[in-house]
Amino acid sequence: MIHSDNIYFARASLQIGANTFTENLNKLGFNETIEFPISLAKSQYANQNGDKIEGESKLADSGYGQGSILVNPIHMASIYSAFANSGNMIKPYIEYDNDKATNQKGDILKQAVFSEEAANTIKEALIQVVENKEGTANDMKITGTTIAGKTGTAELKTSSEDTQSGTLGWFNCFTINSSDKKDILIVSMVENQQNNQAGGSHYLIRKIRTLF
């Protein structure tokens, strides 16, 4: 994970197999409508036959987030919350100025989507993505703050010859055991980064660092 190795995750998805892979995506809430004050698109892993990934090539691509995988950013935040909460996904909510949403804070959306051991393993790996000098998000390292994070790139092109479709840059992160403030989780995405030599994720990191 430190090196964001797509080949590793492609091979892992093939070893897992399509049935187990999709069963666990469903467990995370893919193909489900999330109850939320505003309308949210469902996260998906297949454009057609929405509950099935067709073929090994598509399965391998799906292993590192390509293929037909589409994830709603608010759903993404809820998934990431499980790594900080012993495998439980926290229900997203909007906090209004008059604090209408107070009674929703900390509500569980889905319990034990990961085992506590698995969630902690991923959390430690995400920390190293930032802390390790070879980590893809080492430029997010901030003295005195422990941050777990992951860079990501999504190509929208339909073929290797497609040079017109855009590229998305992602960076998701959360703080751990901040002593002087509440921990925060950030999901960020920027469009049309195909010509950005530094990568869209690092553009986002520069923006996010200003929050600390």
- Structure token pair of residue 27: 């467990």
Burial class (CB in 10 A: 0-12, 13-18, 19+), 55: exposed
Query: Which of 68-77, 183-192, 197-206 shows the lowest mean pLDDT across its residues?
Result: 197-206
Is residue 204 in a domain? no
Is residue 76 in a domain? no
Where in the sequence is the domain holding 17, given as residue range(s)? 1-71
116/129 Cα distance (integer angstroms) = 20
Residue 93: phi, psi to the nearest 5?
-150, 165
Is residue 148 in a domain? no
Is residue 11 in a domain? yes
pTM here? Answer: 0.89
31/34 Cα distance (integer angstroms) = 10
HSE of 165, CA atoms in CB hemisphere, 13 A: 10
Instruction: Look at residue 64 and tell me whether its pLDDT is greater than 90.
Output: yes
Instruction: Please report which confidence band the pLDDT of residue 96 belongs to, taking 50, 70 and 90 as the band edges.
Output: confident
Is residue 159 in a domain? no
Is residue 21 in a domain? yes
| CA-to-CA dists, residue 95 to 19, 36, 43, 64, 101, angstroms | 38, 12, 23, 33, 5
Could you give the number of structural domains in the chain? 1
Is residue 36 in a domain? yes
Instruction: Please report which confidence band the pLDDT of residue 103 belongs to, taking 50, 70 and 90 as the band edges.
Output: low
Is residue 127 in a domain? no
